[in-house]
Amino acid sequence: MRLGPGEVARFGRGSARTPVELRLDDDAVSRLAGEIRVTDDHWQLTNHSTSHSYLVENPEGAGEYLRVPPRRVGAPIPFEFSRVVLPTRAQVPVAFQVFAPDHVYLDPDAMGVPWGSRTVTAYSLDETATYFLVLVALCEPRLRDQSRVAVPTTPQIAERLNGQTTSGALTTRAISSHIDYLAEQKLRIGPPDPHDPGKGDRRNGKREEIVGLALRFGLVREEHLALLPAPAR
């Protein structure tokens, strides 16, 4: 589900009288449990419950989380990736993930100059985030001077990064989400042209575009290879 600035998505168990955009099928979840609202650079969470707090976890923050109390309106969420967790009577809580709007960072070379002269970075990448680790793994063969080697596939990246993140092993589905996030939000790469015979495979074409742009602009360099586990012999 994609939301633009100012758009709202309601979540809960829902009903014919209480429609929701994100249906959570659990008897302990209210018909209208809450809503998320997108702003330019973050999102807000409203908790409609009168008795339960919700947790917003940072999957990449080594246990970092926020607690949104009952009836709290518009709590700002600063995490770039979030997992919203609702309490239930089952052993496994109900949860869903939110990819936040693109965070913007100031150009470090422009700090200390008058506000009117400041610029922002063209590609605001967080080198501590999992998506950046995925980006480095995509670029690794080219950085190791293996230019004829194809860009790694999603399963190959999953195997390469096994156990490397604080949230545990990455699934192929999670890696695909990170690749989509890199292409569409961080690097702003359009979809491959379906009429281009060299881009027949949509997913492979997207990975090729990501690697090409990252290496051309020096977004990933040889020193970033240290973020990856030691290559197998």
Higher model confidence: residue 208 or residue 124? Answer: 208
Task: Report the distance separating Cα 120 and Cα 111, nearest Å.
Answer: 10
According to the model, what pLDDT value does residue 195 have? Answer: 54
Confidence of residue 106 (pLDDT cuts 50, 70, 90): low
**How high is the pLDDT of residue 199?**
43
pLDDT band at 233 (very low <50, low <70, confident <90, very high): low
Which part of the chain has CATH 2.60.200.20?
8-99
pLDDT tops 90 at residue 190: no
- Quote the Cα angle for 147-151-192, to 5°: 115
* Mean pLDDT to the nearest integer, 187-201: 60
Q: What is the dihedral of CA 97, 102, 103, 106, to 10 degrees?
A: 170
Residues 6+ apart with CB under 8 A from 71: 47, 48, 49, 50
- For residues 207-222, give the mean pLDDT: 89
* Residue 187 to residues 80, 96, 160, 172, Cα–Cα distance (Å): 15, 25, 23, 21
Of residues 28, 100, 22, the one with CA closest to residue 66:
100
Residue range 188-206: average pLDDT? 61
pLDDT tens-place string over residues 37-94: 998 778 999 999 998 899 999 887 667 889 999 999 999 998 888 999 998 887 778 9
Average predicted confidence (pLDDT) for the chain: 83
Q: What pLDDT shows up at residue 202?
A: 57
- pLDDT for the residue numbered 155: 92
Q: How far apart are CA 79 and CA 58, in angstroms?
A: 6
The percentage of the chain sitting over the pLDDT mark of 90, rounded to a whole number, equals 36
Residue 103: pLDDT over 90: no
Topology of domain 8-99, CATH: Tumour Suppressor Smad4 (2.60.200)
On whether the pTM is more than 0.75, the answer is: no
**Which position has the higher pLDDT, 40 or 19?**
19
